[in-house]
Copies of this chain bind each other. A is one copy, B any other.
């Protein structure tokens, strides 16, 4: 009780064997939310159904007075308002975004953090200015190696008081693949407060932690950024003292629109015997998904689904479908995506201490009855 931050902000931990979801994890689950899986039916996710993860508080941000500064290793520091960004040529990209911690709550042992099951995903049409346009205006100096992005959300995490801050290598920030955006619109409307109003970064193909919300500063730096969200959080590591590997692009994943109708509490699906059209979406940050397979027996046998191609230059999920014949009894439905780089989803989940990149195949329990 000495009034230090360490009292209220403790180190990361994994849950004890058999430890249920804690009150702290539940408080995060009640604030942040996933995509209700039936909303996979929408090619573009309505804004209020897109997953959202806010580390601290949603800032009280006003578009009219918002400023974005661009500085550090640039020829001409900039101080832009939203109107100045809106005056630049705009682009729109349809982008699937997934939280790096999706699936964390199913890991054993369970890293204690935002307890996602499988639903931390969404696809939106983001409109804004290419980041490279703004960086070209500022003039990135040759010794710059990273662009550091600062959001307005402020808090404490694992004992470290901070603004949310992440970096990208200059070659990614100034590149066209992926086309990094400073976005001011989502699905044709202003960004909602929880999605970064009035400005956010969008980094197609990368997990959500890279898409810095409430973006207020970009600083070009001549050394790699070593802040909390880059060097402590969002690394694949096996032990606390393992330096780990940076979390970057999304691993391949397919999800099913759960068929039939649910039980309120168990969420088990009920279908009638006979033909059932299964459908879903599949995506990868490593390129197009080239194959989706479906299993109706918990992963013993797999059959190929019909998969829509990815739009050329696109960054959104691809629709797939499969015609299944339901027979009375219990079934477990799964779908498995493989991307153009040959990566596929595991049937047994690898483990890492932060609970990142968990693309274990989904299992949808179904009861078929008359």
Q: How far is the CB of A75 from chain B (nearest CB, A)?
A: 35
Contact between chains at B329 and A24 (CB < 8 Å): no
Q: Does A49 reach chain B (CB closer than 8 Å)?
A: yes
Q: Which of chain A's residues 9-48 have a Cβ closer than 8 Å to chain B?
A: 9-10, 19-34, 36-39, 41-42, 46-48
Q: Choose among B1, B28, B34, B266 the residue that contacts A31 (Cβ–Cβ < 8 A).
A: B34
Once A1-B330, A48-B47 are accepted as A-B contacts, the answer to whether A265 and B157 lie under 8 Å apart by CB is yes
Residue of B nearest to A266 (CB): B8
**Assembled-state Cα–Cα distance A194/B29 (Å):** 18
**Assembled-state Cα–Cα distance A214/B47 (Å):** 19
Once A31-B36, A41-B60, A105-B26 are accepted as A-B contacts, the answer to whether A3 and B367 lie under 8 Å apart by CB is yes
Contact between chains at B194 and A48 (CB < 8 Å): yes
Q: Does A324 reach chain B (CB closer than 8 Å)?
A: no
Q: How far is the CB of A263 from chain B (nearest CB, A)?
A: 4
Residue of B nearest to A42 (CB): B193
Contact between chains at A56 and B26 (CB < 8 Å): no
Residue of B nearest to A52 (CB): B48
Residue of B nearest to A105 (CB): B26
Contact between chains at A113 and B265 (CB < 8 Å): yes
**Assembled-state Cα–Cα distance A329/B268 (Å):** 47
Q: Does A328 reach chain B (CB closer than 8 Å)?
A: yes
Contact between chains at B157 and A263 (CB < 8 Å): yes
Q: Which residues of chain B are within 8 angstroms of A369 by Cβ–Cβ distance?
A: 3-5
Contact between chains at B330 and A56 (CB < 8 Å): no
Residue of B nearest to A327 (CB): B3
**Assembled-state Cα–Cα distance A263/B24 (Å):** 11
Q: How far is the CB of A124 from chain B (nearest CB, A)?
A: 12
Q: Choose among B5, B117, B328 the residue that contacts A367 (Cβ–Cβ < 8 A).
A: B5
Q: How far is the CB of A297 from chain B (nearest CB, A)?
A: 15
Q: Does A368 reach chain B (CB closer than 8 Å)?
A: yes
Contact between chains at B3 and A329 (CB < 8 Å): yes
Contact between chains at A26 and B57 (CB < 8 Å): no
Q: How far is the CB of A160 from chain B (nearest CB, A)?
A: 10
Residue of B nearest to A195 (CB): B48
Q: Which residues of chain B are within 8 angstroms of A3 by Cβ–Cβ distance?
A: 328-330, 367-369
- Name which of A22, A261, A263, A329 has the most chain B CB atoms within 10 A of its CB: A263
Contact between chains at A30 and B116 (CB < 8 Å): yes
**Assembled-state Cα–Cα distance A31/B126 (Å):** 23
Q: Which residues of chain B are within 8 angstroms of A28 by Cβ–Cβ distance?
A: 265, 267
Q: Does A270 reach chain B (CB closer than 8 Å)?
A: yes
Contact between chains at A8 and B367 (CB < 8 Å): yes
**Assembled-state Cα–Cα distance A264/B161 (Å):** 10
13 A-B contacts (beta carbon < 8 Å): A7-B367, A19-B20, A21-B21, A21-B26, A30-B34, A30-B116, A33-B33, A47-B192, A49-B58, A49-B192, A57-B262, A113-B265, A156-B263
Q: Which 5 A-B pairs have the closest CB atoms?
A: A20-B20, A48-B48, A33-B33, A21-B21, A8-B268
Given contacts A55-B264, A56-B264, 9 further A-B contacts (CB under 8 A): A1-B329, A9-B263, A24-B266, A26-B115, A30-B115, A30-B117, A42-B193, A56-B262, A155-B262
Residues of A within 8 A of B (CB): 1, 3-5, 7-10, 19-34, 36-39, 41-42, 46-49, 52, 54-58, 60, 105, 112-113, 115-117, 119, 154-158, 161, 192-195, 258, 261-268, 270, 328-330, 365, 367-369
